[in-house]
Amino acid sequence: MIALKNIIKKYTTKNGPLTAVDNVNLTINQSEIFGIIGYSGAGKSTLIRLLNGLEQPTEGEVIVNDLKFSHIKGKELREARQKVSMIFQHFNLLWSRTVAENIAFPLEIAGMSKVEREQRVQELITLVGLEGREQAYPSQLSGGQKQRVGIARALANNPQVLLCDEATSALDPETTDNILDLLVDINERLGLTIILITHEMHVIQKICHRVAVMEQGRVVEMGDVLEVFQKP
């Protein structure tokens, strides 16, 4: 379970203090696909950075799987962060490495042996449907294939939570649908919690169970996707 309790995040800017997240309360259940939607500047990316422990809130608590991310440091925080993975709009792949090497990268960092790594990479390649592309470089892949590499890499170390930051925003509609289908499949097979931020309503409508609508740092609506989007 993930909980954000009375979260306030302020930044200091040259024009004075700016409240990016303004008293947000959210609970996200295990194995849920939860969407956060809002226009640019609403505070979505800031929330994601709080959820992966990259930033600390100014006030409030961030709890991920019983650990208070907002109140741990150092080794404990680094270990906790390994259970939270992320995929990105522009994929953030290593361009000088092959598909297999990109996927193996987090396994290498985690200290897995070469033999185990090769087996794990093969499992992940199958899971995301990239069989035969192991030795390709990112520049040789379509956008959808690049995101499949991003997903495989994110899943390498068996995270409990997958954060998706505008993960389909650079893709055409058909490829977007394919990637969303893959995320649903992974959610059902592995039971991991998926949190997805986007400015695209159809992405939320297609796969999310619940949604929070953000405006100017606040959650202005929250509930089942059907309820939130079918109001008159």
Query: Please, what is the minimum distance in Å from the beta carbon of residue 228 to ligand ADP?
Result: 17
Q: What residues have CB less than 8 Å from 70, skipping those under 6 apart?
A: 50, 56, 57, 60, 61, 62, 63
Residue 167 or 207: the one with the smaller Cβ distance to ligand ADP is: 167
Residue 39 or 227: the one with the smaller Cβ distance to ligand ADP is: 39
Name residue 142's amino acid. S
Question: Rg of the Cα trace of the chain?
Answer: 18
Rounded distance between C-alpha atoms, residue 46 and residue 209, angstroms: 22
User: Hey, which residues does 88 pair with through a beta bridge?
Assistant: 165
Question: Given the rule CB under 6 A, which residues bind ligand ADP?
Answer: 11, 13, 18, 20, 38, 40-46, 90, 95, 139, 143, 146, 170
Query: Please, what is the minimum distance in Å from the beta carbon of residue 113 to ligand ADP?
Result: 29
Residue 116 or 172: the one with the smaller Cβ distance to ligand ADP is: 172
Query: Please, what is the minimum distance in Å from the beta carbon of residue 159 to ligand ADP?
Result: 21
Q: What residues have CB less than 8 Å from 80, skipping those under 6 apart?
A: 53, 64, 65, 67, 69, 72
Looking at residue 55, what DSSP letter applies? S
Helix 143-155 crosses helix 173-190 at what angle (to 10 degrees)? 20
Residue 170 or 190: the one with the smaller Cβ distance to ligand ADP is: 170
Residue 24 or 112: the one with the smaller Cβ distance to ligand ADP is: 24
